[in-house]
Structure 1
Amino acid sequence: MNILQDLEFRGLLNQVTDREGLEKELESGKVKLYCGFDPTADSLHIGNLLPILTLRRFQEAGHQPYALVGGGTGLIGDPSGRQTERTLNEAEIVVQWTEKIKSQLSRLLDFEREGNPANTVNNYDWLSELTMIEFLRDVGKNFSINYMLAKDSVDSRLEGGISFTEFSYMILQSYDFLNLFQKEDIKLQIGGSDQWGNITAGMELIRRSGEEEKAFGLTIPLITKADGTKFGKTASGTIWLDAEKTTPYEFYQFWVNAADADVINWLKYFTFLSKDQIADLEKSMAEAPEKREAQKALGREVTTLVHGEKAYLQAVKITEALFSGNLSDLTANEIEQGFKDVPSFSVENQADMNIVDLLVEAKISPSKRQAREDVTNGAVSVNGDKVQDLSYTIDAKDRIENRFVILRRGKKKYTLIRY
């Protein structure tokens, strides 16, 4: 199947301008395409992953992807998909975020690929050189107010109000497309379904600028979860692509805990597994859902893609250690990932402490009497090993890399002791 048929099979083809013409263009040779990513935070999140991987699918099919980092438009704010005005960030912050996002993109697209290497561009490079008079005369004159008001990104904001700054965003993004079309021969822009108005406005600007060649637009559906909750959000917050903001273990857990109703679609969206491989996993899920083979495959593929095989294997190791209770084999780094959200208690100067005293001081047991009962009843474990000796001392032998001890009371109440 060709690239558009593959996108269709995966449910990734939402809207496309002149599909027949685009297919002919794609079949005739290498096509350059781009997608924009505004630096609205210091990291991309998994909501951005779908367009990035779509760029990569085009690259795998022999075409050349460009990832545009919106150092210029990030200073303005995209009204698409929002009901309120964005808070404008300082220019220095946007520059820092732009560099971080470029670094993340470089791990997900192949910039060394022979024949069709990926590229990054920053629209600040050309938008910052555009004077107000040039913008109004050469660009703005091509857009009527009525045309802009008809776009969903603007129309949805009229009742609550929209500033001239965000109102002009569509024209700036259109100018990006024109600039890349003219200087880089980029003929296709892709984006989420909320970008349809901005993309088609760019195509209109290219047409009005007298270009003889045709430009194309394609959008990807916005992902929703089967239970109606927002994709990419958990109780602990957004799932980021930055390992410092969302650890590889947390990232892996998000995917491996996918609901049965979501997992097959997510395998299509976020992995490069073939149609036959996905069909086999769907069959496995129907026959033995308790094995969660589809979820494990999803966690493996996406975590390896974003963080690498080493981080994936580490995430699996942490998962298995937590399930089995065998925690002593974990490194300090793995403990920090796996126990990031559990209660913790700090002990200064690496002091040795009696098990009962520590249970009380760390507020794991409410009193010494209860702590003694917990220990003698076998309800307390140290690094996964049950302790029933009331005179047991937590000391150097228990400290993992001299930094952590993991106490558990009952089946699930963990506390991380930090040194």
Structure 2
Amino acid sequence: MLSPLPPALTIVPPNRPLVGRVSPPGSKSITNRALLLAALADGTSRLTGALKSKDTTLMAAALRQMGVTVDEPDATSFTVTSIGRLQQPSGPLFLGNAGTATRFLTAAVATVDGAVIVDGDEEMRLRPIGPLVTALRSLGIDAICPTGCPPVTIHGNGSFGSGRVEIDAGLSSQYVSALLMAAPLGHGAITVALTGKDIGARGYVDLTLAAMRAFGAEVEQLDAGTWLVQPTGYSATDFRIEPDASAATYLWGIEALTGGRIDLGVAADAFTQPDAAAQAVIAQFPNMPAIIDGSQMQDAVPTLAVLAASNNRPVRFVGIANLRVKETDRIRAVANELNRILPGLGTEEGDDLVVAADPNLAARSRPARIETYHDHRIAMSFALAGLKLSGITILDPACTGKTYPEYWDMLAGLGVELQPTT
């Protein structure tokens, strides 16, 4: 065990194929959806295969503040008992930089009878939530958000209302998911409609709908951008959470970079999460396509970009403007850190990311201390570079605890030498 983690870790290239069996952690996206839906359901729900990480811990803590009993019988399970309604907390809900928890709860707490403040850390206070707040107001919900980013103050009246709500989901599909999950607690049917065709990672809306239906919601998709949700409330259920596809991209990347074989215990086509589409692209390494549309597999883009650095041809990533409003501006962060490895390797062109690519990168690169910007995906993706390039040091490796607390132990378990540094 690498605990506690040092301020920095230097990865020593293994110079051999990495082979082994690794079970990815549970899906963060599905875990946080299931936690919320179980909290909105009357009775006791048992969630298995769940992720225990910083983000899901923050969600569980917020639910406990609102009267929900959340027990943790083992390392991958939650038992959630609720009366089917959230109660007014005694203080603000602090959600760190957990985007899913913040957006989902901003809508859900509108069903509380009383005022609730949804807040986060300094990074979360820079992440936009204005479109969701505007949508809530259109339902007659008293929502106050002076900066367009958290904190948000919601004055709930015990119901999510009824009627039609329109949402601009160009920045994040999480706005749509937030409205959909709260809609069964309305006093009448609610129609959720997109105001345009653009939506970040539509596949995550499908995850939301599947989870809602598992907890008893009745949702009808009227067309590609409109859903009708009945005021059924939710019923407690036992729910199995699949492994995290975003985490799996690092394991597929390990295979590709080292010529190894990692048994994940689950086939790529068995995932329902959109990031699983990255496997087909990774499988083409070192001949990945010249243009990669990352719009529907956004969290996989940093992984793909690190692989692209050693590709046989340059790669342009398109459809990734939403990466600018993640935990950090990931387009800029990836470009910056690629250029630490080799100047000119990464370039921002508008909202595209162009990776110059150099199949001989291992011979030309230089030692680099990778700034992670408190972003777990920057840390985990650039650690892959260290499997081929000497001198890659990851700063603030503990930030991976947001979604993959065992990441460094996984690498060590595969035989990768990790040198603590300062």
Highest RCO, 1 vs 2 (Cα 8 Å, sep ≥ 6): 2
Scaled by the length of structure 2, the TM-score of the pair is: 0.30
Structure 1 length-normalised TM: 0.30
More strand by share: 2
Please identify the structure whose Cα radius of gyration is greater. Answer: 1
